[in-house]
């Protein structure tokens, strides 16, 4: 995994800031290209759009009569919709890991570009566009350790391309929660309970708004569900998750 992250990093570093003037190389196949991701790789790995639950983005059978999966019908999440660009599987997972743990920040605009295409795909089919966007906030300790918030790095170019205002301070994480990936599924909800709050200065922005919450990966959805519950408690009208990759249950 480390060697793969280093390879992606080396391919991206020469790309900035003249990526549209000089040839670079595709981050996945290494072929010379003016874009960070060549069209053959984009077509091969990211253009297939399986039918997904409108609420949690889990793949559902094409023959299903409902637009929501059984889990969302049984236990309705606080968020109203989820848009994803791809499943969290190779090679998309390597892009996420290179950004998140390899600090390969030039990947953020690429992930945002693929998310933009997904948002357009769903808005063309009737899903409303958020009126305000934010990113899942990191705790103080984790932000200090990492030096950046990968979700915010994706949200910035995405918000610009969609023409939607981004408010990075819309939510505050009250405490450094344990990493969700280290916990069993039944402990994740308790770990996130009351972890977020809407500060006084942004309460008026939340009230009545349709808010898009940007993240890199959705797994069980507990973090995003807690955020949606918090936003709706402070008056949000609708919450849409906009997430690069979706972990698919095996």
Tell me: the pLDDT tens digits for 161-206? 999 999 999 999 887 665 655 555 665 666 667 788 999 999 999 9
CB 241 within 8 A of CB 215: yes
Burial of 75 (0-12, 13-18, 19+ CB in 10 A): exposed
E strand or H helix at 135: strand 132-135
Angle at 250 between CA 70 and CA 109, to 5 degrees: 90
| pLDDT tens-digit map of 147-169 | 999 999 999 999 999 999 999 99
Please determine, for residue 80, whether its predicted confidence score (pLDDT) is greater than 60: yes
> How far is residue 49's CA from residue 121's CA, in Å, rounded to a whole number?
10
As a whole number of angstroms, the distance between CA 197 and CA 194 comes to 8
Whether 33 has a pLDDT exceeding 60, the answer reads: yes
> Parallel, antiparallel, or unpaired: how do β-strands 24-25 and 32-33 relate?
antiparallel
pLDDT band at 86 (very low <50, low <70, confident <90, very high): very high
- pLDDT at residue 187, rounded to an integer: 58
Q: Is the pLDDT of residue 96 over 90?
A: yes
CB contact set of 75 (below 8 Å; sequence gap of 6+): none
* Short-list 249, 235, 171, CA closest to 207: 235
Residue 59, pLDDT above cutoff 70: yes
Distance CA 228, CA 82 (A): 11
- Residue 18's pLDDT is what? 35
Secondary structure letter of residue 170 according to DSSP: S
Q: Which of 33-37, 123-127, 243-247 has the highest mean pLDDT?
A: 243-247
| Burial status of residue 57 (CB atoms within 10 A of its CB: 0-12, 13-18, 19 or more) | buried
- Can you tell me the distance from the alpha carbon of 220 to that of 208, in angstroms, rounded to the nearest whole number? 27
- The predicted structure's pLDDT at residue 207: 96
Of 27, 23, 22, 34, the residue nearest 9 (C-alpha) = 27
Instruction: Give the N- to C-terminal CA distance of the chain in Å, as an integer.
Output: 21
Asked if residues 161 and 115 have their Cβ atoms less than 8 Å apart, the reply is no
> Would you state the pLDDT for residue 15?
44
CB 219 within 8 A of CB 181: yes
């Amino acid at each position: 995994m480390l060697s793969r992250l280093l390879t992606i990093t080396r391919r991206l570093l020469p790309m900035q800031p003249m990526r549209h003037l000089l040839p670079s190389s595709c981050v996945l196949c290494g072929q010379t290209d003016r874009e960070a991701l060549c069209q053959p790789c984009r077509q091969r790995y990211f253009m297939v759009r399986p039918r997904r639950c409108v609420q949690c983005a889990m793949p559902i059978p094409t023959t299903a009569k409902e637009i929501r999966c059984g889990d969302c019908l049984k236990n309705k999440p606080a968020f109203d919709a989820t848009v994803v660009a791809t499943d969290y599987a190779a090679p998309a997972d390597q892009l996420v890991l290179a950004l998140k743990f390899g600090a390969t920040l030039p990947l953020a605009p690429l992930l945002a570009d693929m998310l933009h295409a997904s948002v357009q795909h769903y808005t063309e089919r009737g899903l409303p566009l958020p009126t305000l966007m934010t990113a899942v906030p990191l705790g103080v300790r984790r932000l200090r350790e990492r030096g950046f918030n990968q979700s915010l790095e994706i949200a910035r170019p995405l918000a610009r391309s969609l023409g939607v205002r981004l408010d990075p301070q819309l939510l505050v994480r009250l405490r450094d929660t344990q990493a969700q990936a280290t916990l069993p599924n039944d402990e994740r909800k308790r770990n996130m309970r009351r972890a977020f709050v809407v500060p006084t200065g942004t309460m008026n922005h939340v009230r009545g708004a349709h808010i898009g919450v940007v993240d890199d990966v959705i797994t069980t959805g507990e973090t995003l569900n807690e955020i949606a519950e918090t936003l709706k408690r402070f008056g949000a009208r609708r919450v849409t998750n906009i997430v690069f990759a979706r972990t698919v249950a095996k």
